[in-house]
Amino acid sequence: MYLPEKFERKMQDILGDEYQEYVDCYEAPRYYGLRVNTKKISVEDFVRICPFEIRPIPWIENGFYYDGAQISPAKHPYYAAGLYYLQEPSAMTPANRLPVEPGDRVLDVCAAPGGKATELGAKLQGQGVLVANDISSSRAKGLLKNIEMFGIGNVLVLSEEPGRLVEYFRGYFDKILIDAPCSGEGMFRKDKKMVKAWEEHGPEFFSKLQRSIITQAAEMLRPGGMLLYSTCTFDGLENEGTIGYLLEQYPEFTIEEIRPYEGFCAGMPGLWRKDIPDLKKTVRIFPHKMKGEGHYIALLRKNGEHEMMSGGSKKRPKKLAEELEAFLAQVNWEKAGIDFKREQLEFHGERVYYMPENLPDMAGIRFLRTGLLMGELKKNRFEPSQALAMCLNMDAYGDCISLPVDDDRVVRYLKGETLDVEDVTGMKKKGWHLFCVDGYPLGWGKLASGTLKNKYLPGWRWQS
């Protein structure tokens, strides 16, 4: 495989005697991975029902390898149910090693397409708030779909410059993840087009962006909070150099130990102009050392006294339309994992949202979604949303239709077809039903006389 001469010289300096072993790994096939959504299913249960062969990724508790040359997991109904996300194995490491706890306020600064954000949201288990931001509004649309498919409702999906977020969220977050835009040297094997992109925009170009993003993120982290910085490159300027720059500008930050794995390599202080010994606590992942592509991660803590922030004024419960009241009464919110409070409902036109608590004033911010879109109030009726369906489970909603994965009506539902379900429901039942595969929600349908009118979101439907 072609590698630029300048890049080869750099890697020879970094790897020394291991350089040839590194070059040889380019002849090996890339690795494919999937990550289990632990908000919806335990790892043990997923292994039991998984329809294709998987092997554990040893440093990721909910990660597995699969043979991407032979199978397409994205074309299985369990994928549509949000039971897993497809992600390169090394790329699972940043969100895995950021110690997020339920109730945290979490920011993913450069979140699209959602590989890290979906894991951070799953770790929150419906508590606290996830702010997932991406400067590209087109990429943020894909991010929103992945977050909704995962059943994450305590979320804001934004599309802003990181610097603009500081105006709204200064000192707000407990945990921040930055998967920074980078020169992509670690992805050359996975995507050959990255080599040409590297020749056009190399480490010097991206280093300026990274320094801007990480210092802006530093302003949004509360004292005592933790920040994880990651790239998919090998360059010292982009990796150790960015962390060294942060420490110069914000001396209250310290580098933390990262939970180890035998294949991890220590950071290299010598690649930065100042020798900061603690840079050895950062982690480099090399593709000739582990079954994954190249990556870099650094975990930092912002030291200082933490003062609790109220984040917003108390809201009064609103009087609700009868149709909405009737629907909400059918949901067992405790079993849905949602601490439901009526005062957290907001209305924008016909749309009804359930908002996370203690948010700052966000007037003027560019967003694709604030909170969980519950549905829409039409004339004399309430229509629940696709996002709400994905947040529920069979225990949380009384009227459910669950079919086994090998029933052809499951795929027909995903294609948007009307279904005959009289054998499951009888003729008398009617109204909104949660349609599930093996007990895991896919979306809504409206039942009448044994026929289910398909309400699966049109933009999500499978093509025939």
Catalytic residues: 232
Residues forming a β-bridge with 33: 65
Q: Which amino acid is at 356?
A: P
Q: What are all long-range contacts of 259-267, with beta carbons under 8 Å and residues at least 24 apart?
A: 259/97, 261/58, 261/59, 263/59, 263/289, 263/290, 264/59, 264/290, 265/289, 267/239, 267/240, 267/243, 267/296, 267/298
The number of helix segments (H) and strand segments (E) in the chain equals: 15, 23
Contact 283, 94 (CB under 8 A): no
Length of the chain: 464
CA-to-CA distance for 39 and 119, rounded, in angstroms? 9
Contact 240, 207 (CB under 8 A): no
Using CB atoms within 10 A of its CB, is residue 430 exposed (0-12), middle (13-18) or buried (19+)?
Answer: middle
Contact 125, 330 (CB under 8 A): no
Rounded CA Rg of the chain: 23
How far apart, in Å, are the Cα atoms of 294 and each of 8, 141, 259? 15, 27, 18
Q: Which helix (H) or strand (E) holds 9?
A: helix 5-15
CA-to-CA distance for 282 and 284, rounded, in angstroms? 7
Helices (H), 170-321: 193-200, 203-220, 240-249
Listed residue (380, 384, 389) closest to 435, CA to CA: 389
CA-to-CA distance for 330 and 400, rounded, in angstroms? 11
CA-to-CA distance for 244 and 247, rounded, in angstroms? 5
